[in-house]
Every structure is written in C-alpha cells, then in structure tokens.
C-alpha cells in the first residue's frame, strides 16, 4: 500500500486580480502558509501560468517548477477543465461557452474545438516537461441535453454521440500517450462523462485507450445520488487523481436532483466546504489507501455559504488529518511463527 500525498490545493477558485491571489509567486506563499504541500494549476489562467510558453519551452517549465519548490511546494498536476469542456460542445450550449474561448473563436464551434484540442495537447507536453504524468480535464458534452430520456432517444443516438466524442479525443489521447501523460476526466454533471457507465462507454469507444483515466470527486456523486464508495471498489484501477470536495443532498418536497433551476444555496444538492457536508471522507481515504492510490489529495473549494479563505484555511488540516500513513506490518505478526513443510502438512492433516 501507498500513503496518499497531500494536502494539495486547486488554485482555480482562488485566483483573483488582488494580491496575494494574482500571481503564482504570491499565491504559493499564501497556500504554503496554510500548510499545503502542492498546487494544482489551472492552465487557462495567465495570471498563474502561460500554457503556450510552457508547451514550447522546457526551460520556462523548469523556472515555474523552481518557483513553486522555493515555497516548499510541488506542482501536483495541471488542469485543463475549461479547454477540455470545449473539445465537444452541443450547439445548444455554444453561446454560453463563448467566455471559455478566446475572442478569435467565439461563435465558431469548429474553431473552439480545434483551439481546445491544441490546448489540451500543449498541457500534456508541459506536464511532461514538469515531470508530471497526469492531467485534469473535462470531456465536454454532445449528449448531455438528452440525459433524461424524454423525448425518447432514437435508437443509436447514444452510440453515435460517444463515437463522435471519442473521435475528437483520440488525437489528444494519442498525443498524451506519446508524452507519457494520462488524461484524468472529472466525472461531472454537464459532461458526457459524468458517472461510471458513461466512463465505460467512452473507454469502449476509444478502444480502451490507456491514457483515459478518472479524476475522482465524490461531491458530484452525492449530487447524483450515486454510491461514491462502491465507485472506488469498481473503478479504482482507473482513478489517478482525487479532488477532496464536500457536498450534501437534502431532499425536499419542492425539488430533487435537478434542483428546480434554483440558485446553489436553495438547491437540495449543493457543494460545501470540507467537513460541512455529508461525504464520508474517512471511508474514502481508507478505500483509496487500500487500493494503492498513488497520487495527491487536492482540495477543490466550492461552497455557497462559507468564504474561500476560510474554506482553504480549514481544508489543509482536514485533509492532513484524513491521510492514512499506511502500514508495512500485519497487526498480529507478534503472534505468528515460521513453520516448515512438515509442520504445515501436520496442521492440514495430510
């Protein structure tokens, strides 16, 4: 067994135009002061990271790595959630995703997808330069508007959707494989990859591509009412990244898992700061340790009640207290003894 590394922190929700959140230098000082050991860097935020430069300059990557390490931290992973989202966008969502794309691609779905594809490839190359073998992303979605089967889905629609999704991702996955990097998809409502079955469909459509892996985030499974502990039992071989994020689902007589279009604070299912929700993190850390998860436990803060600063401050000791220092001993070794073949046969009665 391996001891999970952590605590780490995903910087996306904390980046801002005011100090100390407006540069990698100062935000690393801040998170280090809170006790974090690593940072997960959003590659779309130029206040923190220049992806184009990183993909073309190994020396720039080494400068970034040295900067982070000078703060007593390491880079756990790079994130391409925003770019991955744009690899596949259904026309119904195209306008709403305009702000995710550069000006040159807005209102041009083909250009958006092409831009996003190159962005994720660049992040894989930058990851290689940084010595990191996993990359966080979203899958994008062509089918999610049909997630509820009414009107009835035509026969073959789901298969066609996953075939197209795989077609768009295969060049990226092939590039990632060549760079020695796995894409860890965060299974998330709004994405075509949002639960175990959809991940299985995608794997099948990609020919079980070895670079397609999972970013495990139990909060999204609470909101979907999915058994997030059994999920680890089933898919632990694919889990290569871990977002530590809490959530709660409080059933009401007015709204359910779809939320009734309510704001986050009024939804039955909502994200919470660590320790304020319903996720059984003791069981999660136990299962991941049991299955030799060899990665980081990274805080992703999202909460509609608590401030991000308080959430980050409380999140570091919360994760640290849940990390299990795995044992290399069997607890009853003291009562054991060695036996030769004759003794073993005597015990067996043979």
Per the prediction, the chain carries an average pLDDT of 97
Q: For 19-40, how does the pLDDT look when each residue is reduced to its tens digit (9 = 90+)?
A: 999 999 999 999 999 999 999 9
Whether the per-residue pLDDT at 1 is higher than 90: the answer is no
- H or E stretch at 40: strand 38-42
Q: For 116-170, how does the pLDDT look when each residue is reduced to its tens digit (9 = 90+)?
A: 999 999 999 999 999 999 999 999 999 999 999 999 999 999 999 999 999 999 9
Report the C-alpha gap between 133 and 240 in whole angstroms.
10
Domains of the chain: 5-348 (3.20.20.150)
Report the C-alpha gap between 98 and 244 in whole angstroms.
29
Q: What DSSP assignment string belongs to 198-253?
A: HHHHHHHHTTS-TTEEEEE-HHHHHHHT--HHHHHHHHTTTEEEEEE-EEEE---S
Q: Give the end-to-end CA distance of the chain in Å, rounded to a whole number.
A: 35
Tell me the two tokens of residue 194.
């949002």
Report the C-alpha gap between 340 and 317 in whole angstroms.
48
Report the C-alpha gap between 161 and 128 in whole angstroms.
31
Contacts of 63 (CB under 8 A, 6+ apart): none
- pTM above the 0.85 mark? yes
Cα distances (angstroms) measured from residue 304 to each of 186, 264, 277: 21, 6, 12
Report the C-alpha gap between 197 and 180 in whole angstroms.
26
Report the C-alpha gap between 165 and 192 in whole angstroms.
9
SS3 70: helix
Alpha-helical runs (H) found in 47-195? 51-56, 58-70, 81-87, 109-130, 157-179
Q: For 302-342, how does the pLDDT look when each residue is reduced to its tens digit (9 = 90+)?
A: 999 999 999 999 999 999 999 999 988 777 776 777 889 99
């Amino acid at each position: 067994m391996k001891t999970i590394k952590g605590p780490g922190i995903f910087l996306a929700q904390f980046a801002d135009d005011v100090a100390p959140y407006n540069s990698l230098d100062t935000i690393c000082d801040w998170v280090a002061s809170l006790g974090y050991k690593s940072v997960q860097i959003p590659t779309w935020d130029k206040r923190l990271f220049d992806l184009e430069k990183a993909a073309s300059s190994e020396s720039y990557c080494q400068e970034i790595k040295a900067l982070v390490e000078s703060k007593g931290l390491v880079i756990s992973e790079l994130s391409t959630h925003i770019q991955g989202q744009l690899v596949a966008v259904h026309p119904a969502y195209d306008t709403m995703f305009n702000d995710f794309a550069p000006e040159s691609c807005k209102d041009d779905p083909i250009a958006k997808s092409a831009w996003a594809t190159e962005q994720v490839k660049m992040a894989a190359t930058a990851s290689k330069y940084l010595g990191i073998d996993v990359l966080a992303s979203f899958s994008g979605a062509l089918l999610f508007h049909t997630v509820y089967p009414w009107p009835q889905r035509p026969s073959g629609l789901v298969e066609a959707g996953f075939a197209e999704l795989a077609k768009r991702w295969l060049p990226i996955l092939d590039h990632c494989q060549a760079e020695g990097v796995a894409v860890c998809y965060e299974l998330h409502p709004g994405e075509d990859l949002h639960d175990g079955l959809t991940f299985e469909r995608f794997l099948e459509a990609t020919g079980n591509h070895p670079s397609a892996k999972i970013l495990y985030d139990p909060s999204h499974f609470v909101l979907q009412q999915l058994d997030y502990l059994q999920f680890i039992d089933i898919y632990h071989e694919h889990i290569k990244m871990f977002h530590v994020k809490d959530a709660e689902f409080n059933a009401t007589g007015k709204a359910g898992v779809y939320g009734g279009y309510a704001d986050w604070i009024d939804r039955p299912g909502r994200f919470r700061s660590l320790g304020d929700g319903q996720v059984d993190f003791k069981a999660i850390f136990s299962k991941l340790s049991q299955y030799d998860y060899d990665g980081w436990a990274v805080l992703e803060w999202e909460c509609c009640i608590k401030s991000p600063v308080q959430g980050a401050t409380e999140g570091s000791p919360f994760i640290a207290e849940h990390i299990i220092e795995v044992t290399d001993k069997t607890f009853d070794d003291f009562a054991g003894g060695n036996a030769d073949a004759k003794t073993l046969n005597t015990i067996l009665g043979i």
